[in-house]
Structure 1
C-alpha cells in the first residue's frame, strides 16, 4: 500500500518586513493618513481589476469610521494576495496581522506589489497593459495584391 503525501506549494518570504514602513516613506505616509487609498489600490490589483480602487476604498473607509471589524475585510485581501504570490503567512495569521498592525500590514502589501514591478497608482488597467502581449499582424507595405 502506497502512502500519498498531500501536495504542498512552496511558499516564499515577503520582500520586506512587516515593520519596514520607513523603507518607503511615501507609502507609509499615505497609509497613515489615508489607509482607504492604500487598501483600494492593493485590492484593485489583487482582484485583477474585477473591483475598483474607489469602491473598495469607500467600503474600507466606511467600515473603518464605523469602528467595525475592518480588519476582517482587509485581511481577506492579504490572504488572497499571499496565496496568489505564494508568500508565507508571516509573522502570524493574516487576520491577526491586520487586527494588531493594520497600517503596517497595508504598507507591507503595498511594498510587496511595488517590489514586483507594479505601479499601484496606475491601477489594474495601467499595469495590465504593460504586461499584455498582443500578437499583431505584420504591416504590409503597399497593400495586398492578388
Structure 2
C-alpha cells in the first residue's frame, strides 16, 4: 500500500488550550491520564492500549513514548513543529498536550456531515 504524503504546514485541529473542545476526552485525561495516553498511542499505531497505558507509569520510557506519539501525530497530519517544541510542551503543559493529541486522533472527533456548514 502506498502512503499518502501529509500536507505541509498544517495545524492542530484544537489549540493547546482547547481542552474543553471535547469534554469527554478532557475528563478522562484528568481522571485517568494513562487511559488517554494508551488510547492515543493505539490510535496512531504505536502499540497496544494496555501496554502503552502501563508505559505511562515508567519514568523515562513515558517521555520517550510520548515524544514518539506526538511526533507521529505531527507527521501523519502534516503539522509543523519540532521534537524540541514537543518536549517543552510535554514538560510544561502535559495535561494540555495529552488532551490535544487525543482530540487530534480521536476517530469520533472526525468532522461529519452534521458539522458541515449549510448554504
Tell me the TM-score normalised to structure 1 length. 0.62
Aligned position for 1:58: 54
Give the alignment partner of residue 93 of structure 1, picking from 63, 85, 100: 85
What is the RMSD of the two structures over their aligned residues, measured on CA atoms?
2.1
Q: Are the counterparts in 2 of residues 43 and 53 from structure 1 also a CA contact under 8 Å?
A: yes
How far the C-alpha of 1:113 sits from its partner, in A, is 1.6
User: Which digits, 9 at most, give the CA deviation of each residue in 1:83-122, with x for residues without a partner?
Assistant: 12111228x71111111111111101111123xxx149xx
1:105 aligns with 2:103: no
The within-5 A match list for 1:121-132 is none
Q: Residues of 2 paired with 1:102 and 1:71: CA distance?
A: 10
Runs of 4+ residues deviating >6 angstroms = none
Aligned pairs, number: 101
The one of the two structures with greater contact order (alpha-carbon pairs below 8 A, sep at least 6) is: 2
Give the alignment partner of residue 42 of structure 1, picking from 35, 40, 43: 40
Unmatched tracts of structure 2, length 5 or more: 1-6, 110-119
Larger Rg belongs to: 1
Tell me the TM-score normalised to structure 2 length. 0.75
